[in-house]
Amino acid sequence: MTQSAENTGSEPRNKVYDRKYFDYWYRSGDAVISRQLVERKVRLAVAAAEFLLSREIRSVLDVGCGEASWRAVLRRMRPDVEYVGIDSSEYVVKRYGSRRNIRKGDVGSLGRMGLRRKFDLVVCADVLSYVPTPDVRHGLQAMRRLCRGLAYIEAYAVSDEVVGDLENWHYRSEAAFKKLFADAGFVQCGLNCWVPREQAKLLGAMEHC
């Protein structure tokens, strides 16, 4: 990637996250996110959250969940876990909303959705780079407030080699992302895992990044 931080190089287009989109990027021969990759991410996030909490997780908030690919793995691992998905796709909410507990929303509006409870694990996977910076800022602040354990939040810097859907991608530097997370009150503990600053006391000195 050679573009500067915060610059996509072109005017953003109105993307449609419909069935065709998910079929292509998740199920076709050109798919870059496989079921095996999703399962590895889920197992990592669950293990880290449960290590931090010293118990099994009971609740998960998945922001930008898409068709809720994390939910199936979570339910196999922890059958009683409460799962709440948030996604902006009309197709996803209409088709899977009631069956998979997916609500209409996005990163920027998360803090205005009326979610009152806290979650053991907050997930935001493969999402932030498609979100404008003001919405990232508000969304991270909301995720921190809603997290009582661990957050698994993927963020790809301009120096990372990324393949897949780059339409409406926001190119940000490592420093820009670190400031967004710090301003939101998150402390990094490695491999896309973050804890709210008030939970950092649960980490050992060498567990901070």
- 6-35 pLDDT, tens per residue? 443 344 457 899 999 999 999 998 888 889
Q: What is the CATH number of the domain that holds 86?
A: 3.40.50.150
Residue at 165 is within a domain: yes
Residues 6+ apart with CB under 8 A from 91: 17, 18, 19, 22
The boundaries of the domain holding residue 125 are: 21-207
pLDDT, one tens digit per residue, over 146-198 is: 999 999 999 999 999 999 999 999 999 999 999 999 999 999 999 999 999 99
**By the 8 A CB rule, do 73 and 42 touch?**
yes
| 135 to 53, 71, 139, 140, 197: CA distances (angstroms) | 29, 25, 6, 8, 20
- Paired tokens of 16: 């449609």
| 133 to 5, 36, 149, 179: CA distances (angstroms) | 11, 30, 25, 11
Residue at 123 is within a domain: yes
d(Cα 107, Cα 65) in Å, to the nearest integer?
A: 11
- Show the CA angle centred on residue 70, arms to residues 206 and 173, nearest 5°: 50
Least confident of 71-80, 105-114, 173-182, 199-208: 199-208
What pLDDT does residue 22 have? 95
d(Cα 56, Cα 206) in Å, to the nearest integer?
A: 23
Residue at 2 is within a domain: no
Residue at 12 is within a domain: no
What pLDDT does residue 13 have? 58
Average pLDDT, the chain: 92
For the beta carbon of residue 45, count every other beta carbon within 10 angstroms. Answer: 26
d(Cα 167, Cα 9) in Å, to the nearest integer?
A: 10
Residue at 6 is within a domain: no
Residue at 7 is within a domain: no
Residue at 48 is within a domain: yes
Residues 12-28: b if buried by 16+ CB within 10 A, e if exposed? eeeeebeeebbeebbee
Residue at 9 is within a domain: no
What's the number of domains the chain is made of? 1
pTM of the predicted model as reported, rounded to 2 decimal places: 0.91
What pLDDT does residue 31 have? 85
- Smallest Cα–Cα separation from 146: which of 122, 126, 128? 122
For residue 43, pLDDT beyond 50: yes
Going along 46-190, which residue ranges are E strands? 59-63, 82-87, 102-104, 119-124, 147-153, 186-190
For residue 118, pLDDT beyond 50: yes
